[in-house]
Amino acid sequence: MSLKALATKSVQYNNWVVHKYIDWLATKSDEQLNREVISSFPTILKTLHHIWQSQEFWWSYISESHDFDFEKTSSITDKEGVFNAIKNNSQKLADYVETLSEEDLIKNIKIETQWFQCDFSRYEYIQHIILHGTYHRGQIVTMGRNAGITDAPMTDFNFWNIYKD
């Protein structure tokens, strides 16, 4: 499998998972989504916000637009705003990756921020976005259990790979 095929498949899977989670969590009460539990972030909604804000941060480097606006992303905190933003970003990433060539994916992109410096391939940053979201979605399932939510959707990669069509 080429890197292009792998990257495309990965962002398609990520987009599907994001939609599954948002569709699932949209059926839950505001009280459940905002119930404080011990985790990386205190609530499910704040965890989703972090996933989205992180995707936007990395998107600004992957796309080489360098237009990440922390203040703008920090101002969207309501359920519908966060839900729409994370879905839109995941779709934007999937659409973008489909336009990339193998050369675009292996191109290194240097990042210098106040927190870190790195120089990795575009694909490695894309992989990071997906794995970072996966990490926090796992936390959301556990947080949900603490908030009385026990019906998390099946989102394993193999499940998607088998049944996506």
pLDDT in tens, 25-39: 999 999 999 999 999
| Partner residues linked to 118 by β-bridges | 111
Q: Residue 101 corresponds to which tokens in the numbers above? A: 């060539």
| Alpha-helical regions (H) of the chain | 3-25, 30-33, 44-62, 70-75, 79-99, 102-106, 122-146, 157-163
Confirm whether pTM is higher than 0.85.
yes
Q: In this structure, what CATH number is given to the domain that contains residue 132? A: 1.20.120.450
Least confident of 72-76, 120-124, 144-148: 72-76
- What's the rounded Cα separation, in Å, for the pair 128 and 125? 5
Q: Residue 140 corresponds to which tokens in the numbers above? A: 């959301």
As a whole number of Å, the end-to-end CA separation of the chain is 19
Q: Alpha-carbon torsion 15, 44, 61, 10, what sign? A: negative
Whether 20 has a pLDDT exceeding 90, the answer reads yes
Domain count, the chain: 1
For 145, the domain range is 3-163
Q: What is the dihedral of CA 146, 150, 156, 162, to 10 degrees?
A: -170
Within 10 angstroms of residue 10's Cβ, the number of other Cβ atoms is 20
* Tens-place pLDDT, residues 42-83: 999 999 999 999 999 999 999 999 888 888 888 888 999 999
Counting residues of the chain whose pLDDT is more than 90, the rounded percentage is: 88
Predicted pLDDT at 49: 96
Q: What are phi and psi of 66, to 5 degrees?
A: 50, 40
Counting residues of the chain whose pLDDT is more than 70, the rounded percentage is: 100
Predicted pLDDT at 118: 96
| Residue 110, H or E segment | strand 108-112
